[in-house]
Amino acid sequence: MPKRKSVPNKSIVSKCPKLDDTDKINHNEYKSLIQSAFLLKCPPDFFEFYNFCCSVFPESPLGLIDKRTPVCTTLNGIGLQVELRNGIGYRPVTSSHNEITEMLQNLMDSKNEKARLRNLSKLDELMTLVQFANDEGDYGQGLELGLDLLAFHPRGPLESANCLNKRIAVLLSTGYRLAGRPRFSDVIKQHMETRSTPKTVKDVTASSG
């Protein structure tokens, strides 16, 4: 039985300083939030890019996040919003956040190939359930699991989680495509291919142009 309920989640983002506060202290605090919640490092020109976004769309991105009604929580605390149609579009991942975190950490800590394959099989079971859910129109489960994997913090070096990159790419690109967001699907595939490569926002926009 599903162990997670699809209930609204109060976003942790509301606790962070506003991005339009340009003093250095708030910028550093926000960079720390992004690192902890999204497992992303801010490029040097992040706030320059943010100011550009504000010039073309005045409403705060954080305000938009807080206005959502998520169908579930995610491992980073942000939650996931899915447009349900006649109750179809989402079903919960069948493992709790604690179970997923323990499973992934065991995978990172595998001492030999036999242990690695054993721990990997547990993750592949969840991915098989996602395939069933996708076939039945509940693409939100794959998005939820993909976002959970993307937000996983290994106890060791962050790079040790790169073994999850291909699975994250499959889960999220498929989920976004089924959700009618093909550009999101393209972005996540490109991001996961170069996830460990340092880059600036200008590098990203140049490569996608």
The 10s digit of each residue's pLDDT in 85-96 is: 888 999 999 999
DSSP notation for 30-81: HHHHHHHHH--PPPTTHHHHHHHHHHH--S-HHHHHHH---SB--TTS--B-
pLDDT interval class at 26 (50, 70, 90): low
Catalytic residues: 136
Chain length of the chain: 209
> Of the ranges 48-62, 166-180, 186-200, which is most confident?
166-180
Of the candidates 201, 90, 200, the residue with the CA atom closest to the CA atom of residue 147: 90
C-alpha 13/C-alpha 63 separation (Å) is: 9
pLDDT of residue 104: 94
C-alpha 70/C-alpha 66 separation (Å) is: 10
Residue 145 has pLDDT above 80, yes or no: yes
pLDDT of residue 21: 47
CB 40 within 8 A of CB 34: yes
pLDDT of residue 41: 57
> What mean pLDDT do residues 29-33 have?
68
Q: What is the tens place of the pLDDT at every residue in 117-133?
A: 998 999 999 999 999 99
